[in-house]
Amino acid sequence: MDVLLTVITTWLSVNFGLPAAADHPQVQFVDPTQLFAVHTSQLSADEIARMRSDGNTFDDLVAVYDDRSRTIYLPASWSAASPADVSVLVHEMVHHLQRFDDRTFACIEAREKPAYAAQARWLEHLGTSLEQEFDLDPMSLLFLTKCYH
């Protein structure tokens, strides 16, 4: 996993100008219930209520980065042999490297934009796409990455 994290960090730094932080996150493999618990523990009750009323069902939650413990939570079914699974790790690595970056974001969703952009580019290199692997068309992506307030 360490080698893979180094490769992804270098790739993100070269292609997206993110800091090439040498500090790797911890990586933990958990079941979907734990994933959901970690994700919602990062949000305030207001944020959860707002996201739910905006139509976010949290059903599409595939991984979580926990800022406080610098941990990437991946599903137990994650495999380094799957391009889609590795792209999820790329996405979460963007969130990890955002920690080391000075850029600030207007809302939680705005942090997602560069993460999805990197994930999309990674999949493109492997001849696939967010739409093919995750059913994320441009409209759904806009929904996940734009600020509402």
What are 45's two structure tokens? 């009750």
Q: Kindly state the smallest distance separating residue 130's Cβ from Zn ion, in Å.
A: 12
Q: Kindly state the smallest distance separating residue 95's Cβ from Zn ion, in Å.
A: 6
CB burial of 10-27 (b: ≥16 within 10 Å; e: otherwise) equals ebbeeeeebeebeebbeb
The residue to which tokens 């734990």 are assigned: 34
Q: Kindly state the smallest distance separating residue 65's Cβ from Zn ion, in Å.
A: 7
* CB closer to Zn ion, 80 vs 108: 108
- Site residues (CB under 5 A) for Zn ion, limited to 111-130: 112, 115
Helices (H), 18-135: 32-41, 45-53, 83-98, 112-125, 130-134
109 is a contact residue toward Zn ion (CB under 5 A): no
* CB closer to Zn ion, 11 vs 98: 98
Residues engaged in binding Zn ion (CB under 5 A): 112, 115
